[in-house]
């Protein structure tokens, strides 16, 4: 009994303290009840955004790919006969014209062969002339019974033989002239000459693999590129449009960044089969290149223009948001509240999105500040931007 008395005394002290605290709290509530009332919910301020209007405009429809610039034609100039290279008639890295002298081989041996062939032809021609005169005499004598038929026939055969010999000599002369012409090596195309591969003084052979120089035609120039196989039907439909009138599709080449336009050309090749290993089809465009903005081996971004989508509903591409299941935009109502509206994007190109489902012309959409928005939120726009948007809407 003596051992439990202090414990009971401490419990009694705690209970008395708790009761005292409750009494003090009740007194405080009765004196200041407002201090303990629930605070009202703070009003959410409007979200500051930038908006724009849905508008109609004509939009170019195209398919984009990556391509490589290549020469429209490449020729390795080689000697067609063996001989010593006397001189060259081009400067490395400079333009050459079709028919321009590129190289001269030593012609003396072939000139002598040509003279020999002409002499042989002249000899046979003289013999043929004499044989024809004898044939004429035998024809007169046979009419006078002064010659035999055998003599006449023999003379006719000799004339025919010499006539064939003259024809053979003429062919030999022509062959020698052709061989002699091969000592003058001229450019088969107009283009840009590369590095000189053989210096004057060297002996060149027709069997040499490297040749004398490589010429690339760079004006016009070609761009080869690929597109996915599903683009083939789009290309066929675009080519068959009546308003095109059989004109080739346009091709535009841009630099690697896609900002600088390097040239505009036309489609000249849609390959006749799809590459099954990559699922792509090869195409080629031809470009006028007077300023040499396109260069062989250069990588470019390519746009194949398929047509013009007229009066399309458009918004800036930045207004389109991508969710887990679909694309959407934030629209702004007359009361400045926003709603998330699913849309179908037909095309995004050059910073403009073409919308073919979900929006109406003139609707106000959020262009910047979407990450702060929730359905039903109120938005506001800086006065300067709001005024600019209103002006653009007009």
The predicted pLDDT at position 34 comes to 47
Residue with tokens 């040749």: 211
User: What pLDDT digit, counting tens, does each position of 182-194 carry?
Assistant: 999 999 999 999 9
> Which of the residue ranges 27-41, 142-156, 192-206, 343-357 would you say has the lowest mean pLDDT?
27-41
Rounded percentage of the chain residues whose pLDDT exceeds 70: 86
Cα 192 from Cα 190, distance rounded (Å): 7
The predicted pLDDT at position 141 comes to 87
Cα 95 from Cα 8, distance rounded (Å): 115
Q: What is the DSSP letter of 41?
A: P
Query: Is residue 332 pLDDT above 80, yes or no?
Result: yes
Res. 13 pLDDT band, cuts 50 70 90? low
Cα 286 from Cα 264, distance rounded (Å): 9
Cα 32 from Cα 24, distance rounded (Å): 12
Res. 110 pLDDT band, cuts 50 70 90? very high
Please choose, from the candidates 94, 102, 52, 95, the residue with its C-alpha nearest in 3D space to the C-alpha of residue 76.
Answer: 102
Question: How many CA atoms are closer than 13 Å to the CA of 198, on its beta-carbon side?
Answer: 28
pTM, rounded to two decimals = 0.67
The predicted pLDDT at position 10 comes to 58
> Which of the residue ranges 81-85, 166-170, 173-177, 354-358 would you say has the lowest mean pLDDT?
354-358
Q: For the chain, give the mean pLDDT.
A: 86
Cα 35 from Cα 151, distance rounded (Å): 153
Q: Residue count of the chain, please give it.
A: 394
Strand segments, DSSP code E, in 49-207 are 50-53, 55-77, 83-88, 95-96, 101-105, 184-186, 191-193, 203-204
Query: Is residue 375 pLDDT above 50, yes or no?
Result: yes
User: What pLDDT digit, counting tens, does each position of 234-270 carry?
Assistant: 899 888 888 777 889 999 999 998 889 999 999 999 9
Res. 116 pLDDT band, cuts 50 70 90? very high
> Regarding beta strands 379-380 and 47-48, do their DSSP bridges make them parallel or antiparallel, or are they unpaired?
parallel
Strand partners, 216: 74, 192
Cis bond before residue 284 (omega within 30° of 0): no
Res. 42 pLDDT band, cuts 50 70 90? low
Query: Is residue 33 pLDDT above 60, yes or no?
Result: no
Of 306 and 8, more confident: 306
Of 221 and 389, more confident: 221
Res. 5 pLDDT band, cuts 50 70 90? low
Please choose, from the candidates 331, 344, 335, the residue with its C-alpha nearest in 3D space to the C-alpha of residue 375.
Answer: 331
The predicted pLDDT at position 3 comes to 46
Cα 106 from Cα 183, distance rounded (Å): 7
The predicted pLDDT at position 140 comes to 86
Q: What is the DSSP letter of 42?
A: P
Please choose, from the candidates 306, 305, 302, the residue with its C-alpha nearest in 3D space to the C-alpha of residue 223.
Answer: 302
Q: What is the mean pLDDT of residues 98-110?
A: 95
Cα 308 from Cα 327, distance rounded (Å): 24
CA distances to 56, 152, 221, 244, 247 from 91, rounded to whole Å, are 56, 66, 21, 44, 39
> Which of the residue ranges 77-91, 154-168, 236-250, 292-306 would you say has the lowest mean pLDDT?
236-250
Cα 213 from Cα 52, distance rounded (Å): 60
Query: Is residue 271 pLDDT above 60, yes or no?
Result: yes
Query: Is residue 112 pLDDT above 90, yes or no?
Result: yes
The predicted pLDDT at position 349 comes to 78
The predicted pLDDT at position 194 comes to 94
Strand partners, 271: none
The predicted pLDDT at position 37 comes to 47
Res. 22 pLDDT band, cuts 50 70 90? low
User: What pLDDT digit, counting tens, does each position of 120-165 carry?
Assistant: 999 999 999 999 998 898 888 888 887 788 888 898 999 999 999 9
The predicted pLDDT at position 172 comes to 96
- Residue 39 makes CB contacts below 8 A (sequence gap 6+) with none
Residue with tokens 């630099």: 255
């Amino acid at each position: 009994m003596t051992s439990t008395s202090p414990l009971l005394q401490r419990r009694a002290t705690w209970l008395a303290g708790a009761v005292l605290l409750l009494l003090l709290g009740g007194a405080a509530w009765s004196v200041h009840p407002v201090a303990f009332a629930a605070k009202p919910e703070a009003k959410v301020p409007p979200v500051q955004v930038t908006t724009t209007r849905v508008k109609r405009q004509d939009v170019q429809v195209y398919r984009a790919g990556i391509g490589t610039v290549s020469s429209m034609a490449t020729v390795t100039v080689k000697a067609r006969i063996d001989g010593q290279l006397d001189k060259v008639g081009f400067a490395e890295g400079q333009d050459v014209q079709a028919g321009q002298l590129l190289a001269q081989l030593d012609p003396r041996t072939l000139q002598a062969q040509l003279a020999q062939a002409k002499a042989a032809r002249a000899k046979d021609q003289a013999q043929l002339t004499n044989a024809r005169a004898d044939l004429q005499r035998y024809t007169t004598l046979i009419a006078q019974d002064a010659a035999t038929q055998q003599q006449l026939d023999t003379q006719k055969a000799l004339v025919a033989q010499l006539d064939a010999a003259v024809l053979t000599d003429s062919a030999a002369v022509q062959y020698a002239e052709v061989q002699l012409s091969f000592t003058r090596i001229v450019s088969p195309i107009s283009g840009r000459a590369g590095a000189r591969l053989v210096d004057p003084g060297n002996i060149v052979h027709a069997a040499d693999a490297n040749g004398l120089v490589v010429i690339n035609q760079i004006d016009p120039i070609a761009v080869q590129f690929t597109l996915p196989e599903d683009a083939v039907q789009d290309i066929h439909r675009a080519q068959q449009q009546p308003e095109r009138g059989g004109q080739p599709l346009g091709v535009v080449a841009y630099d690697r960044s896609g900002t600088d336009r390097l040239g505009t050309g036309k489609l000249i090749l849609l390959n006749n089969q799809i590459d099954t290993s990559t699922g792509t089809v090869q195409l080629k465009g031809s470009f006028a290149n007077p300023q040499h903005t396109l260069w062989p081996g250069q990588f470019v971004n390519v746009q194949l223009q398929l047509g013009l989508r007229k009066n399309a509903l458009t918004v800036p591409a930045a207004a389109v948001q991508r969710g887990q299941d679909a694309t959407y935009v934030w629209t702004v109502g007359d009361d400045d509240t926003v709603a998330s509206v699913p849309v179908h994007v037909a095309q995004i190109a050059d910073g403009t999105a073409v919308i073919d489902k979900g929006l109406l012309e003139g609707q106000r959409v959020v262009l910047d500040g979407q990450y702060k928005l929730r359905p039903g939120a109120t938005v506001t726009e800086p006065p300067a931007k709001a005024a600019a948007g209103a002006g653009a809407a007009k």
